[in-house]
């Protein structure tokens, strides 16, 4: 019942915004695009982030196609923009127009413009939505014979935003088996028709693997722990910061470092004793840091799909210490690839278990080396970029023919 009410609400909203869409389409007819495209990619950002890295990998997997990449929200920094440019596709940033709450009518108007551009394509074309709210709102205005694809990274607010737009998507890509299960439960709860479940594709993220499988060197009697990620609430950087402080109180010989825009989450103790690198745009520098500073990669998230930082760290022999969220339990087995906390929400328990895990590793250097070897082998067997690229090429090609 909830599903059909959301459909009705969306249809009523479409009636209200139709004048803006009509005006936008008139503009698109007067000033059409100067070339045809196989794919229209819609992404919110190009700044540093796991989702943005995946999006850059997707567009690079389709280098042989004619594509237009559209960014719909303001990015914090250039971040992965150079990697998007490397794809050779044309880039258009409309965020100044579509990401302005004081001039929201521009967002409605540009739905008309881009639906006009897309609907005017004479050849087969595909619309690819990577977590763009603008693209969801655009989807009802796209011709029904044009295939639309959505990429879902996790189970979060977008999982609800997308519900009334599900009928417009021919294919849905999800990166986490556990998150697929979450969405299937959501479908049942909201009364989403069961035939939409067959549209879900599982494609695990891929990374560019190191050129060689290099054994990790562990410094005797000391462990280096690293956090890599954003400072958003679900990442719980403050919990990682508290863990570092508590490990020091236990007088455990650790070195903690933080990578990402997380300075606002650090405490005085962390500023005094830990190393803060901020955002790192050069991927070569980041990968060297995994080798130099990440004997342990610490994940404290309350929710995830499957973080790319885990793949990158495993490929360089890091031990994973993480909350059991998303697909982390699928890839991280206790004392084989690292350690999973027994709980997600009990932060006191997580802090206590972090101390136990670190003590265990300090007392058993051979366990550290064994886990490190396992992770390098696992990453090379499961996370290569080639399979990732092939899956996306096959998906796009199936919609173009």
- Candidates 233, 101, 98; CA nearest to 157 is 233
Tens of pLDDT, residue by residue over 107-160, are: 999 999 999 999 999 999 999 999 999 999 999 999 999 999 999 999 988 899
Residue with tokens 């009990």: 346
Kindly report whether the global pTM for this prediction surpasses the value 0.75: yes
Summary mean pLDDT of the chain: 95
What is the three-class DSSP state of 7? helix
**Widest CA span of the chain, in angstroms?**
72
pLDDT score recorded for residue 348: 97
Long-range contacts formed by 334-342: CB under 8 A, 24+ apart: 335/367, 335/371, 336/371, 336/374, 337/371, 337/374, 337/375, 337/378, 338/296, 338/297, 338/371, 338/375
Domains of the chain: 2-206+385-400 (3.40.50.2000), 223-382 (3.40.50.2000)
What's the whole-number mean pLDDT along residues 313-331? 96
pLDDT score recorded for residue 1: 64
Tens of pLDDT, residue by residue over 97-112, are: 999 988 999 999 999 9
Crossing angle of helices 177-190 and 2-30, in 10° steps, is 110
Alpha helices in 71-176 (DSSP H): 81-86, 95-98, 105-119, 133-138, 157-161
Crossing angle of helices 2-30 and 105-119, in 10° steps, is 70
- 67-71 and 39-43 beta bridge pairing: parallel
Q: Which of 31-40, 280-289, 389-398 is the least confident region?
A: 280-289
Give just the sign of the alpha carbon dihedral 311, 214, 283, 313: positive
- Residue 96 above 90 pLDDT? yes
Beta strands in 31-152 (DSSP E): 39-43, 67-71, 90-93, 126-130, 147-152
- Candidates 194, 150, 140; CA nearest to 170 is 150
Distance of CA 83 to the CA centre of its chain: 15
What's the whole-number mean pLDDT along residues 219-239? 95
Give the pair of three-digit tokens for residue 384. Answer: 């290569």
């Amino acid at each position: 019942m909830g599903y059909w009410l959301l459909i009705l609400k969306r249809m009523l909203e479409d009636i209200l915004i139709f004048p803006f869409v009509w005006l936008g389409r008139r503009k698109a007819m007067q000033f059409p695009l100067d070339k045809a495209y196989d794919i229209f990619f819609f992404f919110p950002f190009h700044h540093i982030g796991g989702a943005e890295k995946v999006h850059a990998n997707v567009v690079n997997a389709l280098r042989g196609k004619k594509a237009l990449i559209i960014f719909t929200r303001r990015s914090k920094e250039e971040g992965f923009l150079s990697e998007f440019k490397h794809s050779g596709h044309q880039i258009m940033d409309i965020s100044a127009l579509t990401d302005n709450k004081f001039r929201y009518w521009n967002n409605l108007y540009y739905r008309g413009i881009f639906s006009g551009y897309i609907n005017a394509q004479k050849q087969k074309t595909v619309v690819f939505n990577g977590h763009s709210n603008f693209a969801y709102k655009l989807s009802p205005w796209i011709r029904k014979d044009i295939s639309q694809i959505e990429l879902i990274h996790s189970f979060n607010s977008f999982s609800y935003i997308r519900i009334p737009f599900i009928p417009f998507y021919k294919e849905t890509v999800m990166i986490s088996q556990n998150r697929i299960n979450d969405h299937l439960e959501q479908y049942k709860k909201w009364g989403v028709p069961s035939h939409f479940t067959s549209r879900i594709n599982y494609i695990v993220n891929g990374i560019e693997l190191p050129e060689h499988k290099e054994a990790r060197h562990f410094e005797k009697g000391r462990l280096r722990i690293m956090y890599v990620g954003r400072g958003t609430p679900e990442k719980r950087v403050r919990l990682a910061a508290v863990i570092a402080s508590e490990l020091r109180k236990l007088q455990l010989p650790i070195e903690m470092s933080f990578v990402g825009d997380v300075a606002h989450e650090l405490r005085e103790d962390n500023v005094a004793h830990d190393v803060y690198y901020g955002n790192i745009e050069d991927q070569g520098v980041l990968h060297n840091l995994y080798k130099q500073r990440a004997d342990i990669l610490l994940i404290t998230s309350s929710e995830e799909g499957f973080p790319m930082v885990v793949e990158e760290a495993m490929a360089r022999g890091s031990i994973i210490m993480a909350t059991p969220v998303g697909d982390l339990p699928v890839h991280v087995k206790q004392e084989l690839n690292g350690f999973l906390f027994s709980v997600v929400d009990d932060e006191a328990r997580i802090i206590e278990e972090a101390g136990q895990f670190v003590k265990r590793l300090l007392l058993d250097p051979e366990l550290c080396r064994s886990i490190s070897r396992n992770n390098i082998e696992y990453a090379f067997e499961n996370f290569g970029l080639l399979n990732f690229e092939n899956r996306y090429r096959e998906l796009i090609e199936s919609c173009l023919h």
